[in-house]
Amino acid sequence: MSNPIRTSSKPTWGTIPKMLRLSDINTYYGNIHALKGISLEVAEGEIISLIGSNGAGKSTTLMTASGVVPAKTGRVEFNGQEITHLSPDNIVKMGICQVPEGRRIFPYLTVAENLDMGAFLRKDTEGIKKDLEYVYDLFPILAQRKSQAGGTLSGGEQQMLAISRALMSKPKVLLLDEPSLGLAPIIIKQIFEIIKKINEEHKTTIFIVEQNANLALKAAHRGYVMENGTITMSDTGENLLANDDVKKAYLGI
């Protein structure tokens, strides 16, 4: 976009507890200032979408929240506790799990072994069995192919496996980085239907970074727009879909 979108007034969404909060975050890659003082909140039970062009800083936002790329300054909080400088594995233990861009499953492990890796930090054997049944119910194709190497699955099936592997960690907040990337439209639709189902039935809070702004905002309770490492707008998903600037910049209207 040539001109930055004006920041709208923040929508109110009641007194729902804020599970994840990023406050005045600055993140760098060497000398490159990727995130420039961003602040955002994800409330319990919400689906939040972060949209923006390539290179805007969307993936960096997720990686900062999950501890993969630490913030240089600012504060990340989860359920009121600061986690800014915690390691990624400790952040996963607390209940934040990221599905990375490009899926990054273990290609030489079977579907079942990939799912076992998702539950690696857990000790509750009965809970793991229950969650395994749940993901196989969400994605029956994975149950059919549980003995098949992950790398031999189609792109859509690998995305299903990546989401399922994250669910096996029993996350309170699920971070999804470009879940539609490289997938056929019919598979993208199925993936987003499952995302909403996970939110509604499993009560999982979800934070999505997505190039497909139309689908992302339709699925979201609220959304943020990011440009050049800054948050330029926040509103309900419905209002952002109706916003003329968003339509022109991200919806091709």
> Please, what are the domains in the chain?
18-250 (3.40.50.300)
* 1 band by pLDDT with thresholds 50, 70 and 90: very low
pLDDT given for residue 53 in this prediction: 86
pLDDT of 77-135, one tens digit each? Answer: 999 999 999 999 999 999 999 998 877 888 899 999 999 988 887 788 888 999 899 99
pLDDT of residue 10: 43
pLDDT per position as a tens digit, 9-43: 444 445 556 889 999 999 999 999 999 999 999 99
Question: What pLDDT is attached to residue 136?
Answer: 94
pLDDT over 70 (residue 165) = yes
- For the chain, helix, strand, coil in percent to 5 are 40, 25, 35
**pLDDT higher than threshold 80 for residue 7:** no
Q: Is 203 left (phi over 0), alpha (psi -120 to 50) or beta?
A: left
Which helix H or strand E contains 209, and what residues bound it? strand 205-209
| pLDDT value of position 17 | 65
Arithmetic mean of pLDDT, 241-247: 91
Buried b (16+ CB within 10 A) or exposed e, 222-252: bbbbbbebbbbbbbbbebbbebebbeebbee
One-letter amino acid at 248 equals K
Q: What is the pTM of this model?
A: 0.87
